[in-house]
Chains A and B, each alone.
Chain A
Amino acid sequence: MKRFLGFVRKEFIHIFRDVRTLVIIFGIPAIMIILFGYVVSTDLKDASLAFLDLSKDDVTSELIERTCSSDFFRKTADLSGYHEVDRVLKSGKAKVVIVFGENFGRNLESGKNASLSIIADGSEPNTAALVSTYANAIISGFSQLSMPAGQASIPVIVPEVRMFYNPSLKSQFMFVPGVITMVLTLICALMTSITLTREKEFGTMEVLLVSPLKPVQIILGKVTPYFFLSIVNVVTILVLSRLVFGLPVKGSLILLLAESMLYIFLSLSIGILISAVAKTMQQAIFISLVGMMLPTVLLSGFIFPIENMPKIYDWVSSVLPPRYFIVIIKNIMIKGTGFAHVWKETLILILMTVIMMGLAVRKFSIRLQ
């Protein structure tokens, strides 16, 4: 045991003396939280909007006021004619132009077709789609309210949409579980595979194997620090997302940490497996990044919903651990569900861990033969 502790201590020294390792372990979680929280936000806020009002009546001015009173839009220009539309969109002064046709108010009141068009800057398709949907919603909401009395005999059904779990549809709520998953994958799989192959590459692994330390002790000694640092990271991310985005953990914190440890075990085994296959650090990095990080980002349902993927990607993603882990933390953090609702995913992760650990141990001993 004393031998083992001395060995673990040495691994901590490696980590704390290497600036690059420190940046990856402690910098990346913080950066990712900020990045995904603010920059990659898919929320609409303060989108610039221009109006071309050819009618200039009470109805249109009320509509304009309504639109701009929301947090989503900010009026940046009033246009005087069609010829200016192109200019404001091109200059970026506005993302969307809303055009009210002539006699808009009068047409609406008399039940005739009131012409209204929304012109969006399609060079940013996501924003354009969002902006036009929001604008559409506001305006159609208004038009239903201001239906002339005569036509109200047919009751207008106004669907009341309420968002559960994430009432303001904050996208950060969706990203935090993804970021936790990414960080754990990165640190556990990438860092352990690097640190193990480094020993191989530098020849120290041979010396360690000839020493009285058992192979199991060597591996455990190398991954123990990463296990603890990963837990520290999970807590850091939870605290950060609480402080910065006000995202609480609705479910049991203990359950969340227990599930995280399970996922850490799994990722560590994958890291060990990678190191057994890779001959050099570069190979280890390549395998971890392409084999683990890319699928985590693209196929785990973190950014792109699995339901929208072609079937084949669905199958591919069903063998990826992050897919299940994301579901688990989303459920615990955002919906506040208990173990009863995540036992299936947990079981899958446990199975994967057993398989990966078995493979890693086997690979490692084969290499020694």
Chain B
Amino acid sequence: MNRKTVIRVRDLVKKFGSFVANDRLSFDVYEGEIFGFLGANGAGKTTAIRILTGLLEPTSGEVMVAGFDACRQPEEIKRNIGYMCQKFSLYEDLTIRENIMLYGGIYGLDRKTIKERTERLLDKLRFREYGDRLISALPLGLKQKLAFSVAVFHEPRIVFLDEPTGGVDPLTRRQFWEMIYETASAGITVFVTTHYMDEAEYCDRISIMSDGRIVALDTPSELKRKYDAGSVEDVFVKIARPGMKYSQETADINGLG
């Protein structure tokens, strides 16, 4: 593949004391692709995402995100990425416009740009009539779509989605993935973790983590062929058994903060 690399990870190791959460991870993510990051609970996904987003420092290894070094230039990385976590991340007691204004401002956009993009976004989502309503008055599906729109509002190079569709109904999930496709086709790389295996099928490429290592990385169809499985779910079950040592300890560490 001769596409541009936006995330480059080589021999990434993250230790918490003597416990190895990420064991020599190496992978590339290309511009504009939808990269699925799969793994059982406690396999080390959250730790890896935190390193990629500049929240954690790696113990050793090379991590380049959007052309910047994760150890030395975390601030530059932060300006070039968007992030949406599993918990809903907009402020319930602020209106849609206020939320957008806040996040837009945090990412350094000027007022005029924010106003223009806000109106465009509200039109696109057909949210115009909700613009000045408090977030708490919206149904969960709308909130989730809005959270995603806010995460890419500043037009980052990469957007990280940490289980974005948890607790959302199938219809909204479908619409959500349409938004993800649209974003990717606009050139924004999507790095997504999920527990829904049907969603994994929508990804351009997926990696599967187990016991702190990446045990598989390829396109969904290639993985299915390689493991002689009918679906990504079967692939996952075949290779992603959480080891015995990943019991409470891992859960605790990954649950930090």
Where the two chains meet, the residues of A that have a C-beta atom closer than 8 Å to any C-beta of B are: 2-3, 6-7, 10, 13-14, 17-18, 200, 202-204, 206-214, 367-369
Contact = CB atoms under 8 A, between A and B. Distances in A.
A13 B105 CA distance: 15
Contact of A200 (B86, B93, B257): B257
Interface of B: 53-57, 75, 78-79, 81, 83-94, 98, 101-103, 105-108, 160, 256-257
B256 A367 contact: yes
B87 A203 contact: yes
B102 A7 contact: yes
Contacts of B87: 202-203, 206
A234 B86 CA distance: 41
A211 B98 contact: no
A368 B89 contact: no
Given A200-B257, A206-B83, A207-B85, A14 B91 contact: yes
**Top 4 A-B pairs, shortest CB-CB distance:** A203-B87, A6-B105, A210-B83, A207-B89
Contacts of B160: 210
Given A18-B93, A203-B88, A209-B55, A10 B83 contact: no
B106 A13 contact: no
B85 A211 contact: no
A367 B55 CA distance: 10
B167 to A, nearest CB: 13
29 contacts: A2-B105, A7-B106, A10-B94, A10-B98, A13-B94, A14-B91, A14-B94, A17-B93, A203-B86, A203-B87, A203-B88, A204-B91, A206-B55, A206-B85, A206-B87, A206-B89, A207-B83, A207-B85, A210-B53, A210-B78, A211-B83, A211-B107, A212-B79, A212-B108, A213-B106, A214-B75, A367-B257, A368-B55, A369-B56
B93 A13 contact: yes
Contacts of B93: 13-14, 17-18
- The majority secondary structure among interface residues of chain A is helix
Contacts of A18: 93
A18 B93 CA distance: 8
A295 to B, nearest CB: 29
A212 B107 contact: yes
A206 B98 CA distance: 19
A204 B89 contact: yes
A285 to B, nearest CB: 19
B89 A202 contact: yes
A367 B255 CA distance: 11
Contact of A212 (B88, B90, B106): B106
A7 B78 CA distance: 17
A207 B55 CA distance: 10
Given A210-B83, A212-B79, 19 more contacts: A2-B108, A6-B101, A6-B106, A7-B102, A10-B94, A13-B98, A18-B93, A200-B257, A202-B88, A203-B87, A206-B55, A206-B87, A206-B257, A210-B78, A210-B81, A211-B106, A212-B78, A212-B107, A368-B56
Contact of A3 (B84, B88, B106): B106
A212 B54 CA distance: 10
Contacts of B102: 6-7, 10
Contacts of A13: 93-94, 98
A13 B85 CA distance: 23
A121 B149 CA distance: 72
Contacts of A211: 78, 83, 103, 106-107
A200 B89 CA distance: 10
Nearest to A202: B87
A298 B182 CA distance: 62
A281 B102 CA distance: 23
A69 B84 CA distance: 76
Given A203-B88, A209-B55, A211-B78, A3 B105 contact: yes
Contacts of A368: 55-56, 257
B245 to A, nearest CB: 22
B101 to A, nearest CB: 7
A10 B108 contact: no
